[in-house]
C-alpha cells in the first residue's frame, strides 16, 4: 500500500516529522478509509470482504509503524499518546491540526460502526481478521 511506503519514508528521516506531515498522512489514510467504507456498503459480498481484509491489514501495519515511531522518539506507545494529547506541547496551528485529525478519525469510526449495524457487512463469513 502506498500509504505504508510513505510512512516508511518518513520514519527513515525522523528529523523531518512535523505535526503537519503527520496530518497529511492521517488525511491520506482517511481518504483510503473513505474508499474502503464505500466498498463496505457494496451489495457484493466479495467486495465487502476484501474491504474488511484491507482495513484489518492496514490497521495492523499502521500499529506497527506507530510502535516504530515511538521507538524513534524514545517513548512507549502510552507515553506517546499522552504526549500528543497535551496541547501544551504544540503551537495553536499544530494543535488545531491534531484536533481536526482526531475528529475525522472519530467520525470515520462512527460511520464504520453505523455501516456494521446497518447489516451489509454482517453476512461476511470466514473473515480471518475477526
At 119, is the pLDDT very low, low, confident or very high (cuts 50, 70, 90)?
low
3-state per-residue secondary structure call for 62-108 = HHHHHHHHHHHCCCCHHHHHHHHCCHHHCCHHHHHHHHHHHHHHHHH
The pLDDT value recorded for residue 33 is 79
Helix (H) or strand (E) holding 63: helix 45-72
Model confidence pLDDT, tens digit, residues 2-20: 777 877 887 788 777 777 7
Model confidence pLDDT, tens digit, residues 37-64: 888 888 898 988 888 888 888 888 888 8
Among residues 39, 57, 56, which one has the least CA distance to residue 48? 39
Question: Which grid coordinates belong to 60?
Answer: 495492523
Q: How many residues does the chain have?
A: 130
Model confidence pLDDT, tens digit, residues 20-33: 777 787 778 778 87
Amino acid at each position: 500500500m502506498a500509504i505504508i511506503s510513505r510512512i516508511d519514508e518518513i520514519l527513515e528521516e525522523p528529523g523531518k516529522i512535523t505535526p503537519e506531515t503527520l496530518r497529511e498522512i492521517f488525511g491520506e489514510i482517511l481518504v483510503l478509509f473513505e474508499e474502503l467504507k464505500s466498498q463496505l456498503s457494496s451489495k457484493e459480498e466479495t467486495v465487502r470482504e476484501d474491504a474488511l481484509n484491507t482495513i484489518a491489514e492496514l490497521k495492523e501495519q499502521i500499529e506497527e509503524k506507530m510502535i516504530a515511531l515511538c521507538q524513534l522518539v524514545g517513548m512507549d506507545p502510552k507515553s506517546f499518546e499522552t504526549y500528543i494529547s497535551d496541547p501544551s506541547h504544540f503551537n495553536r496551528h499544530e494543535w488545531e491540526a491534531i484536533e481536526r485529525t482526531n475528529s475525522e478519525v472519530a467520525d470515520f469510526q462512527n460511520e464504520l460502526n453505523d455501516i456494521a449495524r446497518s447489516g451489509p457487512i454482517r453476512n461476511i463469513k470466514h473473515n480471518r481478521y475477526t
